[in-house]
Amino acid sequence: MQKKRERMSIEDDIRALATDRGRAVGTDGHQAARSYLLQKLQNMDMAPYLPEGFEASYESAGELYHNIVAMMPGRDPSLEPILLGAHYDTCGSFPGADDNAAAVAIILDVAAEMAHVSRDRSVVFALFDAEEPPNFLSQSMGSIRFYEDQRLTGFHCALILDLVGHDLPVPGLEDLLFVMGMETDYGLGEVIKDCPAGPSIRVLPTLSRYVGDMSDHHVFRVNHVPYLFLSCGTWEHYHQPTDTPEKLNYGKIEAISRYLLAIASAISMKQLSGPFEGYDSTDIELDYIHSVIYPVMAQMGRPIRVNDRRDIDWFADMMMGYLGG
């Protein structure tokens, strides 16, 4: 019964956010989404990250933008917090169920789970504005402005989600979730190995360079903050009016929420000692390719052999071809 209640909460949040008005900056849909998210956070046992409240507003080129940031304070304020983040705006008037209401709903779900558990390290929950074009990678991008102008401390690690609600368009691998960024610290590779994904999803850790700075993890990478970026990649409904709630896989979304909770909890207790991007993750990538990908490709009559970094590069190119990258 508890599982059903959690599922309804996630699905309800997605349907409330992913309307035909979209959530483009400056629109009525954007204002409605902000109001909904602020109310959700106010109803949780959560503290604002900034003294002025949950809404962290900023101006750029005459436009007003609004990050929404909450915090669950830890027992030890000397420890740098971890950050869980996702953008909440959309590309134009598209509903944006997968991009990025599903990720926002997962952040809210994990925040609700974490709110009543005491821990040493604080956790920051950031819902970023202005990730979509024309703001992407500009000085008006919400995650960039948050990091440069609004953050109060450094961060132990950032966990960023984008495009996490759909099945992969690859037969036999529909339940796959890519986890990128473990090369930023050896400890992250250990966390991934120690946290099984559980039913409904399979995890494939890989390098960030295979997808590039396609989302809000960009600002953490360039500032040498350890991070993980969770995504299912792009699909046929990406930046389309057909990106609607009924297209999503809610069982997969629930599983990703549980996985995020597990790895966030593990990372909060893990020492991350660097050096940044000093971890050679080849062996763990090969282990996951062999255990997750090999059986599926063999069933498809397309067995593959991946034994070193050069082979992984080839495999990544093949997967990007499937995903339209």
Query: Residue 298: what pLDDT?
Result: 84
Q: Residue for token digits 């599982």?
A: 3
CA dist 301 and 17 (Å) reads: 41
Q: Residue for token digits 């069933």?
A: 299
pLDDT digits (tens, 9 = 90+) for 137-156: 999 999 999 999 999 999 99
> Are the beta carbons of 132 and 64 closer than 8 angstroms?
no
Whether the ω angle into residue 135 lies within 30 degrees of 0, i.e. cis, is no
User: How many domains does the chain fold into?
Assistant: 1
Pairing of strands 63-72, 47-48: antiparallel
Strands (E) in 225-296, as ranges, are 227-231
Whether 26 is in a domain gets the answer yes
Whether 287 is in a domain gets the answer no
Whether 311 is in a domain gets the answer no
Query: Phi, psi at residue 157, to the nearest 5°?
Result: -165, 150
Whether 301 is in a domain gets the answer no
Whether 286 is in a domain gets the answer no
Whether 308 is in a domain gets the answer no
Closest CA to 121 of 78, 151, 87: 78
Instruction: Write the DSSP symbol of residue 324.
Output: T
Residues of the chain with pLDDT under 50: 1-8
Strands (E) in the chain, as ranges, are 47-48, 55-60, 63-72, 82-87, 123-128, 157-161, 176-180, 202-206, 227-231
pLDDT digits (tens, 9 = 90+) for 231-254: 999 999 999 999 999 999 999 999
Whether 230 is in a domain gets the answer yes
> Are the beta carbons of 289 and 204 closer than 8 angstroms?
yes
> Which residue range is the domain that position 78 belongs to?
2-279
Query: Residue 325: what pLDDT?
Result: 56
CATH number at residue 226: 3.40.630.10
Q: Residue for token digits 């970023």?
A: 128
Query: Residue 324: what pLDDT?
Result: 67
Query: Residue 108: what pLDDT?
Result: 97
**Residues with Cβ within 8 Å of residue 302, at least 6 apart in sequence:** none
Whether 137 is in a domain gets the answer yes
* pTM for this prediction: 0.95
